[in-house]
Each structure stands twice: as C-alpha cells, then as structure tokens.
Amino acid sequence: MTKRIFRSIVLVSALVLTVGLFLVMEILYQYFGQQTREQLRNEANYLAAAVETQGTDYFTQLPGVAQQTQRITLIAADGSVLYDSKVDEESMDNHKDRQEVRQALLDGTGESTRYSRTLSEKTVYYAVRLSGSRVLRVSSTQFTAMAILGGLIQPILIIFFVMLALAGIFASRVSKKITAPINELNLEDPQSNEAYDEIAPLLGKINRQKKTIEKQLALAKRQQEEFSIITENMREGLLVIDRRAQLLSCNSSALRLLHAQPAQNHNVLTLNRTEPFQHAVERALDGEHETVTLQIGQSYCQVIANPVLREGAPAGAVILLVDVTEKTLREELRREFTANVSHELKTPLTSISGFAEIMQDGMVESRDIRRFASRIFEEAQRLIRLVEDVIKISQLDEGQLPYEKEPVDLFEMAQKILGQMEAPAQKANVSLHLEGEHVVLSAVRPILEEVCYNLCDNAVKYNRKGGNVTVSVQSEKDSVCLRVRDTGIGIDEANRKRIFERFYRVDKSHSKEIGGTGLGLSIVKHGAAYLGAQVALESVPGQGSVFTLIWKQ
C-alpha cells in the first residue's frame, strides 16, 4: 500500500508539475505578447504625432537600422511604401492589401499578426492612419512559444527533475505517514484503534467477523475434541481417507488393530499392504460397500469400508476396523468342539452298535454274552458321562443352573472329595493328603464340588506310580485359596494355554487308557468363572502341577 501511495503521489506531482510549467509558459508568453502590442501602440502613436508635425524628415533623426528593435513603415494612400526602416522601399510590394493597412484606413488603427513557419517567429503589426490617408505601421518580431520552449528545454528539464526528486522525497515521507496508522492497527481488538474515520466501518466489520470466526473456531475445536474423545475411546478402529486414499484421520485403536505406526497424511495402504485390505479400500473409493476379514498375526480384524459420497460421486471413504479375534476363535472352537463331540460320541456308539450287531446275529456264545453286555454297559456309561459333561458346560456357559449359594466349608468339602478318591488313588498307587484350615465360603455347593472333584481326579489320573496328591485350604489376607498339588507328568509351556479347551488332552494315549472325556478342566474353568474364582496354574514337566482356585475377599 505504501508503494502504491508513493507512486500515485509522484505521478500526480509529475503531472501537476508538467501542466504547471506549460501553463506558466503560456501565461508568460501571452503576457509578454500583450506587452509587445502595447509597446507598439505607444511607439506608433508617438511616431504618428512626430510625423504629423515634422514630416518625413523626422525619420532621419531616428537611430540607425541596426540599433532599432522595431520596424517602421510609412505607406501612402495607394499602398505604396514611402519609407521603411529595414528594407529599401523601392524594392517592396504594394501594401494596400495588408490586413493592418486596410483596417487602419477604415478604422484609424489596425493590427495583425503573421507567423513564419521556417523561422519559428511571429511578427506583430500595428498601423495608424495619418493625414492624407497615409498609414504609419510599426512592427516587432518575436519567437513563437515552441521556439522559446525549445530554447529553454535544458533549464526546464533540470527544474523538472529537481522538483520530481523533491516530490519523491516528500511522497515517501507522506506515504509512510499515511500508512503508519493502518500498519499499526490492532486487529486483535479492532474497536481500540484510533485511526482514520474512513476505515471505521471496515474496523467494525472486522470486529464482527472476528467474533464470528472466534465462535466458529470454538465450535470447530469443541467438535474436534468431542470427535477425538469418541474415536480415541472406541475399541473399534476408525480410518478416514480422501479420494486419493490419503489418510486424513485415524485413531489409536486402528493402529493397534493393524499393528501399524502413525502415518498421518500418508496413503492408507501403508498401514496394511494385504490384498483383502487393498480390495476393500478400492471398492469403497469406487462407491461400493465392502466387508473383509484380515488375519494379522494371531488376531483377526474385520474391515468395514463405506464410501463417502458428495453430489453422487465418491469423495473418500470411512473404514471401520472391528476386532473379531474372540469371535473367530470361538467359532473355531465351536467347530472343533462339534468335531470332537462327534468323534467322542461316535467311538462308544460304534462299539455299542458293533457289540449289539454281533449279539443280534447270534455270533456270540452264551458264556460271552455277559462280557459283551459289560462292554456295552461301559461304553454306554462313557457316553452318558460325556453327555452329562457337555450339558454341565452348556449350563455353565448360559448361567442357567438352578442352584443357590450357601455357606460351604472348603476344608470339609475337600476331605469329602478325597474320601471319594481313595479307591482310584489306591488303584493308581497314589497317596492323598489334606492340609490347611477350615474356611467357610459362600458358594454353590454342587458346582464347587464338581470343580474340586475334577481337579483331584486329574491329579490322580495323571500322576505317577507312588506319587502324591496334596489338597490345601488357606485363608490369606485378601483372598481364599484352594490348591491341588500333584507329582505327575506336568504340563509344558506349549500346552498350558489350551488345557482348558474342551476335549483337549496333553497326553492323548494316556487319556484313552484312563477313559477321560477331555472336558474335566473345561468344567473347572467354566465352574470357577461361575463361582467368581480365578484359576492359576504352576507346572514343571516331569515334576508335577499345582492348580489354585483363588477367591478375592
């Protein structure tokens, strides 16, 4: 703005200076021209009076031709030249048709001006009529305005540039002084400025717009904070991309689910380069909804890609990431459970069907019928136990057991269960021990007994010959613990994460020998959860295991 004001002032100053010089030259030229004409009139009147009194002899008294500044001509009534102070009168033409002569003969005085284009001069003539119709003419020659200007061009240019330089200096100072109040405006508080009255409406408008912008910024900031709070507290991942698949926004859950690092303003495909993820992004940017499932390490992530449409055309996409690891694993466990149940049911049913078919065909002697019936009964009992265990797990999963809590003495309950385990323990050559104190706990007795029985049963079954099983009940500062310790085969690190799965067996060959269903520890897990207890496991392969039920007080 300062430069524009500076240029404007300098240009106006130059224009005014140029016009002023021309006007002054013109005024002076006109003034001196008028002075010349007045002088000619006065001289003509003086000469006319002298000629009238002294005659033509008066001309001989005038200074020489070289010293005269005006030209004097005496013209007869017929137009012939009687006398001329500059040129020989005999060589001169008749002057009767000259304008000033005709006018003088008619009006008494005459005046005219003639220009010489070749000499850039003009001649002013003034004529006075004398007695006898004679005419006395006086003339003076002067340069034209352009000739005078041409002669003065150098000093005029010097004056012009000096004035222009002065105008530039003053224009610089004035422009800075003019713009200083504007440059010093406090736009943070427009109403506090004391500036020009002309910009007061502008300051008022800026103040109103400032307040509007502040409100809009506060609203946008609040909405952004709300959006950040919502997205950052989502378990689901959220990705927002533009038409070129550039990442506009993402929350921490998205990075966690994709196992990626922050990549703001980068292509979304840098977060996951798998083909299904790329396909989902491309479909969303084409305006189609797409859902795919990614496997990332040991976890599963469902990708739901939705297009963002603007005026009917895709302008970007919103991608929602949902952790479906638990759901997927449950489905796999369900499928595995179904397959295991089918297999476990098929084995006794096949045995029962085979023995029954042999007996039906009469291929069994009467002395073997009792043995075959015994095998059928054992397989049927195995089948019943399996079905009962499955039903128990289903009831524990659904929480539909028709039981109520009651006070249970853990020490007495453990003593009772060890009494039930004496026969199988003696058969396996395993010693049973009970330690601890009497602790009363509010629990569902049937489920608690089932859980403890399964732990003790496994401790006996998977023990070694001459081993020990020790059950201890202890009340600690903030918890109650029931531990079942054995000196059996132990469980290695690889199998500890899966031993609570249904039908999972650490030693499958040994399990077949002892007739286990593979659901004992699964019942322990679900039963403990139903009772509000935690299950802890410590095990050393070849040395034994310790299962602990912990109730927080």
Q: What is the CATH number of the domain that holds 256?
A: 3.30.450.20
Domain check: are 424 and 544 in the same one?
A: yes
pLDDT of 274-332, one tens digit each?
899 999 999 999 989 999 988 888 888 899 999 998 888 888 999 999 888 888 777 77
pLDDT of residue 73: 85
Taking all residues of the chain, what is their mean pLDDT, rounded to a whole number? 79
Q: Residue 175 falls within a domain, yes or no?
A: no
Instruction: Tell me the average pLDDT across 143-169.
Output: 72
Does residue 397 register a pLDDT over 90?
A: no
- Taking the C-alpha atoms of residue 444 and residue 46, their distance in angstroms, rounded to an integer, is 154
In angstroms, the first-to-last Cα distance of the chain is 80
- Does a structural domain hold residue 522? yes
Residues 518 and 422 in one domain: yes
* CA separation for the pair 495, 354 (Å, rounded): 35
Q: What tokens appear for 465 in the block?
A: 């010959």
- Asked if 454 contacts 521 with a C-beta cutoff of 8 angstroms, the reply is yes
- The mean pLDDT of 153-181, rounded to a whole number, is 76
Name the band, by pLDDT with cuts 50, 70 and 90, for residue 510.
Answer: very low
CA Rg, the chain, in Å?
63
> Could you tell me the pLDDT band of residue 152, with boundaries at 50, 70 and 90?
low
**What does the DSSP assignment read for 62-107?**
SPPGGG-SSEEEEE-TTS-EEEESSS-GGGSPP-TTSHHHHHHHHH
- Residue 196 domain-assigned (yes or no): no
CATH number assigned to the domain comprising residue 434: 3.30.565.10
Dist. CA 378–CA 362, nearest whole Å: 21
Torsion of CA 123, 129, 134, 136, to 10 degrees: -30
Number of domains the chain contains = 4
- Specify if 515 maps to a domain: yes
Is pTM beyond 0.85? Reply is no
Q: Flag the least confident range among 40-44, 331-335, 374-378.
A: 331-335
> Do 367 and 488 belong to one domain?
no
pLDDT of 67: 39
Residue type, 268: V
Q: Which of 97-106, 267-276, 359-368 has the lowest mean pLDDT?
A: 359-368
- Clarify whether residues 313 and 384 are in a common domain: no
Lookup: tokens for 359: 């007996």
pLDDT of 65 reads: 42
More confident residue, 197 or 236: 236
Domain finish residue from 395, 416, 441 = 395
Give 537's strand partners. Answer: 547
Mean pLDDT along residues 235-243: 87
The 3-state DSSP class for residue 429 equals: coil
- Residue 516: which domain range? 401-552
The half-sphere exposure of 363 on its side-chain side, counting CA atoms within 13 A, is 7
**Residue finishing a domain among 263, 294, 323:** 323
122, 151, 180 - which closes a domain: 151
Instruction: State the CATH number of the domain containing residue 379.
Output: 1.10.287.130
Tell me, what's the pLDDT at 350?
76
Same domain as 372, residue 479: no
The predicted structure's pLDDT at residue 396: 57
The residue type of 28 is: L
Query: What is the per-residue pLDDT for 139?
Result: 85
Residues in CB range of 187: below 8 A, 6 or more apart: 206, 210
Q: Give yes or no for a contact between 439 and 480, defined as CB atoms under 8 angstroms apart.
A: yes
Quote the pLDDT of residue 482: 92
Residue 81 lies in a domain: yes
CA atoms within 13 A on the CB side of 49: 5
Give dist(CA 398, CA 391) in Å, integer: 11
The answer on 137 and 57 residing in a single domain is yes
Q: Is 179 exposed, middle or buried (0-12, 13-18, 19+ CB in 10 A)?
A: middle
Q: Are residues 8 and 133 in the same domain?
A: yes
- 250 pairs with which residues across the strands? 239
**Bridging pattern class, strands 406-409 and 299-310:** unpaired
For residues 479 and 449, membership in a common domain is answered with yes
Distance CA(215)–CA(211), nearest Å, equals: 6
**330, part of any domain:** no
The amino acid sitting at 212 is T
The encoded tokens of residue 297 equal 């390490």
Residue 252 and residue 352 in one domain = no
| pLDDT tens for each residue of 465-498 | 889 999 999 988 888 999 999 998 888 877 777 7
Same domain (yes/no): 269, 341? no
**What pLDDT digit, counting tens, does each position of 63-120 carry?**
654 335 578 888 888 888 888 888 777 778 888 888 888 888 888 888 888 876 655 6
- State residue 185's pLDDT score: 66
- Shared-domain flag, residues 390 and 405: no
Q: What is the rounded average pLDDT of the residues 342-364?
A: 72
Of 52, 72, 137, which is closest to residue 98 (Cα–Cα)? 137
- Cβ 141 vs Cβ 122: under 8 Å: yes
For 32-46, the DSSP string reads HHHHHHHHHHHHHHH
**Domain contains 499:** yes
Tokens of 138: 């006086």
pLDDT at site 318: 92
Do both 381 and 318 map to the same domain? no
The reply to whether 529 falls in a domain is yes
